[in-house]
A and B are shown apart, each in its own frame.
Chain A
């Protein structure tokens, strides 16, 4: 161990004043050679990855910001023993979220990322005779889980603008246990406006009153379209509507694993009854503290992140549009673009040049690539790689 405890104290002590944290945030590279705990384990891994641009998973490349990182450090406790304790109470985070959304604690259940929420909702609201209905393509967590449970999945295809035909969607929802409504939608990046969504929800409620609708607002904070609102206020009054949120996207906390659902107390109670044991035990204390700090910090954090993303989005989408490749109208931190060739070889060729784009999204794996927005600097480098790969014939790339 090269580093004495005293020098760790000195280095870490600066963190309380914030300077250390800010330098950490700006440091995407791994030059912090002062740290020693994992010498010989992590450093070679870091070195191997240091130049890779990861734009495959719709993450916030800036991370959670200094207030959240300071809260994680504070979660270590006065003598560093706190991570040895079970998370115990979820109440302070639930209270913070309830205050933010102007709802009651019984309207909220936490999950290990919204992943756990999506799985729990699918578990509780689908059955052998109550299928899941979702668009194709969409985020697969609910469909994968329903399939695992042997419950049917009904897909509704998107139109040429990668928008769902909401009338067809509502028709397909008749008799369903659950409708998964991801808005903005992953991987298509498109968004359905507030009024159209409200009408859709009302139609499903009326034509299929026993169907629950999960509105996944994972990318909510990134929407710039003014026709935009959250469906949390509706969900707390309507036992057939549940809203899922996550700290993994605009809040920059994908590594921490924290998400939640907001809904009517009856729906939330069902989710807790199914998964409360894991609902407690799957939640780590660092994420709890981080999420409280994230919720309580100034709105400027999200406003700045939305603006930062919008600028990078506009730059990247224009680059493709200028070259005749039209992306779907992105309202998120990623885009879905027709590159006119199979994605597999394109992805492999980009990866060989240090740019990691997303996996296949059938049935569009022959034409469309999902590309997340990194930092402006990363995207300026990435488009050079895209240009190089796309300049070669598809066959040559393969």
Chain B
């Protein structure tokens, strides 16, 4: 299938300029941060052998992208490129309506973000203050933490437990006085998930301990979860004031580059959050792409199955090689490689396999590895085996 798709996309791209070709070479979020900090080229690597391409499994992306229907819909939307998203057909309002229909809620229960990151960031801005801070985990997705720090609002980070699951009891204990409690389920980077009973209990107890706190349940990896005990918190968010369930099209829907996310919740909670929304934050193409993806649940089901298969293969290969992945419910693994992440990452990077950055406080032992295609992961695990073989002293420094 990939070969066929590649063939027809070749026809689309044959005439593209060198500027874009250069741009197309994979550069992750880390590279951008490096640019800002003047650290370009900090991990020099010899050129890969001819015919060997870089495998980017560093950012928990869907390696197949959004699929031909979405791309076709974007192309069909070209005549609307000059229209603001509120004027185009479909409009951003139509996307909100489609999401409302999908979740069987009202449009007032939904607000859009330029990716779910805007939602997270704006939640910190809307619900925390110097008096009422953020309660979050460590390690977890860092956007709320960094936003709160930038604003000078207090942050309580509750370490994950020995199984790399969020310490819900510890987070409940930290909740009194909080403005916002961030619950990433499944948790990035540790890949673990909590079941529906745990989530319901957590919300009840946080609300008892901190009645004014908003609880944000970030379900970025929702579609990848296979644990039958898991369920979405969307119904909980609709039934409970001050609870938000947040979703994204960046992961299983394969649209990280298109920037569409949203929050679902009580109309009052959504209204408070939406005051901080950037106007026209989702592009016209993002609108039509998300609507098309939402209407194609078969594509999503295939992606869920594909990821589960490749995840099982990769976890087994790593376990066989002596490494210890946590119980992953996402499209990435958090793996104890028994050596500094940097050493492992650089060893893989030299062979063109790009994995995730450091995740303190586990940067001395754990790496985050995203799930690529089966072909990519077959090659990647060969590289992992080679890097895992030497002792820490030989392979590390």
Contact = CB atoms under 8 A, between A and B. Distances in A.
Whether A associates with B in a native complex is yes
Interface of A: 1, 3, 5, 8-9, 12-13, 15-16, 21, 24-25, 27-28, 30, 32, 35-38, 41-42, 45-46, 49, 54, 56-57, 59-64, 68-92, 96, 112-113, 115-116, 119, 141, 148, 248, 252-257, 272-274, 276-278, 280-290, 292-293, 296
B291 A84 contact: no
B391 interface: no
Interface of B: 2, 4-17, 19-20, 22-24, 26-29, 31-32, 35-36, 56, 59, 61-90, 94, 98, 114-115, 117-118, 121, 143, 146-147, 150, 250, 254-259, 275-276, 278-286, 288-289, 291-292, 295
B276 A148 contact: yes
A42 B29 contact: no
Contacts of A283: 259
Contacts of A273: 150
B115 A282 contact: yes
Given A64-B82, A87-B259, 16 more contacts: A3-B72, A16-B14, A35-B73, A41-B292, A42-B89, A42-B90, A68-B81, A80-B9, A83-B255, A84-B61, A84-B257, A92-B23, A254-B81, A255-B285, A257-B280, A281-B259
B13 A73 contact: yes
Contact of B2 (A1, A62, A79, A82): A79
Contacts of B70: 37, 83
Contacts, number: 301
25 contacts: A8-B68, A12-B72, A13-B11, A16-B12, A16-B13, A16-B14, A41-B98, A42-B89, A57-B87, A63-B81, A69-B78, A71-B20, A79-B6, A81-B65, A88-B27, A89-B23, A112-B114, A113-B280, A148-B275, A148-B276, A254-B84, A273-B150, A277-B117, A282-B117, A289-B23
A85 B8 contact: no
A343 to B, nearest CB: 18
A54 B83 contact: yes
A8 B11 CA distance: 12
Contacts of A89: 23, 27, 31-32, 35
Contacts of B275: 148
Nearest to A296: B19
B36 A257 contact: no
Contacts of A284: 114, 257-259, 283, 285-286
Contact of B117 (A9, A25, A281): A281
A289 B74 CA distance: 14
A88 B36 CA distance: 12
A64 B2 CA distance: 31
B177 to A, nearest CB: 22
B259 A282 contact: yes
A8 B65 contact: no
A63 B71 contact: no
Contacts of A41: 90, 98, 291-292, 295
Contacts of B281: 112, 257, 282
A277 B17 contact: no
A215 B4 CA distance: 50
Contact of B5 (A3, A79, A112, A274): A79
A278 B121 contact: yes
Contact of A255 (B71, B83, B257, B259): B83
Contacts of A116: 278
Contact of A278 (B12, B69, B117): B117
B331 to A, nearest CB: 11
Given A41-B291, A296-B19, A255 B84 contact: yes
Given A282-B114, A296-B17, A82 B65 contact: yes
A156 B25 CA distance: 49
Contacts of B35: 89-91
Most B Cβ at <10 Å: residue of A85, A90, A116, A252: A85
Contacts of A8: 8, 68, 72
A41 B70 CA distance: 13
A289 B72 CA distance: 18
Given A37-B70, A252-B82, A287-B283, A9 B24 contact: no
